Amino acid sequence: MRSLMVKSIIAIQKIVNDDVKTAVFTSLEMINAKKLMTREGLTVVLKPNLLMGKPPERAVNTHPEIVRSVIHWVKQFNPSKIFVCDSSGGQKPGVTEAAMRQSGIDAICDEEGVECIPFEKTERVIYTVENPLEINEFSSSYLLKKADLIINLPKIKTHGQCKLTCCIKNMFGTVLLANKPKTHAQAATLDRFTSALVDIYSVSKPQLTIIDGYYGMEGQGPSSGIPVKMNLVLAGYDGVALDRMVCEIVGFDPSEVLYLTKAEKKGLGINNLSQIECIGENIEQVKRKFKPPKIRPVSMPLPKWLANYIGKTIFRARVKFNRDKCKLCSTCWTNCPVNAISAPEIIKKGNIPKWNKDKCITCFCCVELCPYEAVNFKINYVRNALFSWLSVGFVGIMIVITLIILLLIQL
Ligand code: SF4
Ligand code: SF4
């Protein structure tokens, strides 16, 4: 009997001999993506991951050849305008332009006659989130409204805070510069931040997603990890299903990628493998287990309040600065959303920024944005356990029980 279950279709295509264009075109053919190009003269926005100014070989930003191939694909349908846009991490003016330049994407847009523009340089609109989980509204570019078609071009990378950054997390780039740290500060726990990500995705939801799996990043992603040549392109319409499938490919437990369940509950896509159909490459043939980030969410079958408490105590991370690498460039203290980092008293080589553990919300922005990979996190479980109220309470209870037992023995 034929199943009536609606499935999300995902195309998986290998990149052979670095022929990115063929892989992109084939994957889009497999999902019949041309049905989205309903007429000539469409306005199309491509949203790559442009986290920071790093060259393609560092695998931080969407690879420029993926962007070029998608531009070529869109051009076949005579659009009126193609925009390539993002808003990078960091608040300093010019950071997105630097990412566009150093990623090589700016040069490709020049060659292709396409406009490469930071979202923050376009007209702003306040977007209201329907049925919000965490944020009611946010400001972004008018292009989200104006575009006939938004194409998400995320990259497969580990993420210190969220474990994985790909389809859903990439649309956080539609939040403009300084508003990103504000979102971190407002949604100060991982639980609340992932809810905010889902809210943002619900507004900026792309109609089509093409994942850059040419080079991924494992380990200390999204900016300081190890590039992995995966030679893959994934394409589909459902970003939740695509993220779920990426977890399968890189060997991550999807329950640790908190935004997946939330996005499915909000009706944004499918997070259930039995409802996802892959076409093209056999999933078993493309699996490549990723080294997870050192610090990552811990899934525990505990009540939420207890899991939150343990996360804030035993698993609490401390920010560490590397004296040899730090150039006192000010990126970390100007971008910390809660002012938990300040400049050293004297700006001179060998000094490092000051970190305030009581203010820190462990949002990982400093690790993510340091251009010199000079910030890291460490968790000292023993120290944390010794200083947590849970341990103090436990030790206290044990002392009381021992005293009662001793008293009873005396009697
Ligand atoms: S830790 Fe990194 S971001 Fe912070 S001042 Fe040093 S080099 Fe700059
Ligand atoms: S110190 Fe780093 S991790 Fe802590 S709140 Fe500031 S940016 Fe986030």
Q: Residue of the nearest CA to atom 6 in ligand 2?
A: 336
Q: Which residues line ligand 1 (CB under 6 A)?
A: 321, 326-332, 353, 370, 372, 374-375
Model confidence at 286: pLDDT above 90 = yes
For 67-82, what is each residue's pLDDT tens digit?
Answer: 999 999 999 999 999 9
What CA–CA distance (Å, rounded) separates 366 from 141? 25
CA of 30 to the centre of ligand 1 (A): 45
Residues 141 and 149: beta-carbon distance below 8 Å = no
Please report whether residue 292 resides in a domain. Answer: no
Instruction: Report the Cα 174 to chain-centroid distance in Å.
Output: 12
- pLDDT for the residue numbered 392: 63
* 303 cis-preceded (ω within 30 degrees of 0): no
| Residue 56 shares a structural domain with residue 132 | yes
Please report whether residue 2 resides in a domain. Answer: no
| Residue 187 shares a structural domain with residue 215 | yes
What CATH number should be reported for the domain holding residue 250? 3.40.50.11440
| Residue 128 shares a structural domain with residue 201 | yes
| Residue 403 shares a structural domain with residue 277 | no
Which range has the worst mean pLDDT, 105-119, 212-226, 250-264, 286-300?
286-300
Mapped onto helix, strand or coil, the DSSP state of residue 337 is coil
Please report whether residue 314 resides in a domain. Answer: yes
Model confidence at 1: pLDDT above 50 = no
| Residue 269 shares a structural domain with residue 400 | no
- pLDDT for the residue numbered 170: 98
**Percentages of the chain per state (helix, strand, coil), in multiples of 5:** 40, 20, 40
| Residue 258 shares a structural domain with residue 209 | yes
Please report whether residue 91 resides in a domain. Answer: yes
- pLDDT for the residue numbered 234: 98
- The residue among 258, 286, 314 that closes a domain is 286
CA of 244 to the centre of ligand 2 (A): 28
Please report whether residue 42 resides in a domain. Answer: yes
Shortest-distance atom of ligand 1 to CA 322: 1
CA of 342 to the centre of ligand 2 (A): 11
What CATH number should be reported for the domain holding residue 359? 3.30.70.20
What CA–CA distance (Å, rounded) separates 157 from 230? 11
Residues 166 and 153: beta-carbon distance below 8 Å = no
Query: Rounded to 10 degrees, what is the CA torsion of 87, 190, 368, 197?
Result: -20
Nearest ligand to the C-alpha atom of residue 364: 2
| Residue 276 shares a structural domain with residue 317 | no
What CA–CA distance (Å, rounded) separates 157 from 226? 9
319 pairs with which residues across the strands?
A: 377
Q: Which residues line ligand 2 (CB under 6 A)?
A: 319, 336-338, 340-341, 355, 360-366
Q: Residue of the nearest CA to atom 8 in ligand 2?
A: 363
Q: Over range 326-340, report the average pLDDT.
A: 95
| Residue 111 shares a structural domain with residue 148 | yes
| Residue 140 shares a structural domain with residue 280 | yes
Give me the DSSP letters along 343-367. Answer: --SS--TT---EE-TTT-----HHH
Nearest ligand to the C-alpha atom of residue 326: 1
Please report whether residue 90 resides in a domain. Answer: yes
pLDDT exceeding 70 applies to what percent of the chain? 92
Please report whether residue 241 resides in a domain. Answer: yes
Average model confidence (pLDDT) across the chain: 92
- The residue among 241, 256, 286 that closes a domain is 286
Domain limits for position 406: 387-411
Nearest ligand to the C-alpha atom of residue 331: 1
| Residue 225 shares a structural domain with residue 362 | no
CA of 7 to the centre of ligand 2 (A): 40
Q: Over range 251-255, report the average pLDDT.
A: 97
Q: Which residue in 322, 319, 193, 208 sits closest to 259, CA to CA? A: 193
- E strands, 219-302, are 226-236, 276-280
Q: Over range 312-341, report the average pLDDT.
A: 90
CA of 259 to the centre of ligand 2 (A): 21
What CA–CA distance (Å, rounded) separates 181 from 336? 7
More confident residue, 92 or 252: 252
CA of 159 to the centre of ligand 2 (A): 15
For 336-393, what is each residue's pLDDT tens digit?
Answer: 999 999 999 999 999 999 999 999 988 889 999 999 999 988 877 777 777 766 666 7
Which amino acid, residue 136? Answer: N
Please report whether residue 41 resides in a domain. Answer: yes
Model confidence at 210: pLDDT above 50 = yes
- The residue among 235, 255, 286 that closes a domain is 286
Burial 332-348 (b: 16+ CB within 10 A, else e): bbbbbbeebbeeeeeee
| Residue 198 shares a structural domain with residue 272 | yes
What CA–CA distance (Å, rounded) separates 26 from 43? 23
Q: Residue of the nearest CA to atom 5 in ligand 1?
A: 328
| Residue 140 shares a structural domain with residue 83 | yes
- What's the number of domains the chain is made of? 3
CA of 97 to the centre of ligand 1 (A): 20
Q: Residue of the nearest CA to atom 2 in ligand 2?
A: 366
Nearest ligand to the C-alpha atom of residue 295: 2
